[in-house]
Structure 1
């Protein structure tokens, strides 16, 4: 029977909390170098957060920003099949329309459409309209 290694970071974090040297919710990193354990408090949010290119913003944004959070949500919804996307946006009591309202869902739909155009992919809603309307 194999023994599992204990989670060292969690053990040290718990020991520091008991000793009163770490606040509740502090994020600690533990590294082992030549049998010496080093424990350091990590800043939350980081002092210099990473930046990535945002398609919707058209520039680099912080991964800790609301712009990036919004783009991740739009990217996720754009990647869903149309039926699942409609269910997530307009479905039952757990849908976004129920939680955020119709205006927010209309804005998300417009952002999903814009994201698809910027990425060069036509949305399934538009392509199905073209087939029906003969456009």
Structure 2
């Protein structure tokens, strides 16, 4: 955490928000059958530690945004992006398109914003570099 910054955890804030773009049921069942571990846990950890939403100067890291069933937004994104990275078909435009599809509810659902609109530009570039590095290490 940066000096002068506060940590914020959103429990359940996006519980219904991601259901439209990712089938969490199959992801949860596969995680449950492997003792809670998935092939993309390392990627999810990196995303969760390095990618954040900027909300009026508050950094809300994706590991702290819960999307239901105890999953973080970082885990959901890793499950969505991981197969593309393994298949070698990932492009930066794919990340942009995905981030525009992920709805984030704010103010108790009074406002919905795309995740792409809540990530600072530098953070998106770092996210893309993180994915490129992960793909190279495969």
**Same fold, judged at TM 0.5 (above):** no
Structure having the higher Rg: 1
Higher RCO structure (Cα 8 Å, ≥6 apart): 2
User: Structure 1-normalised TM-score?
Assistant: 0.25
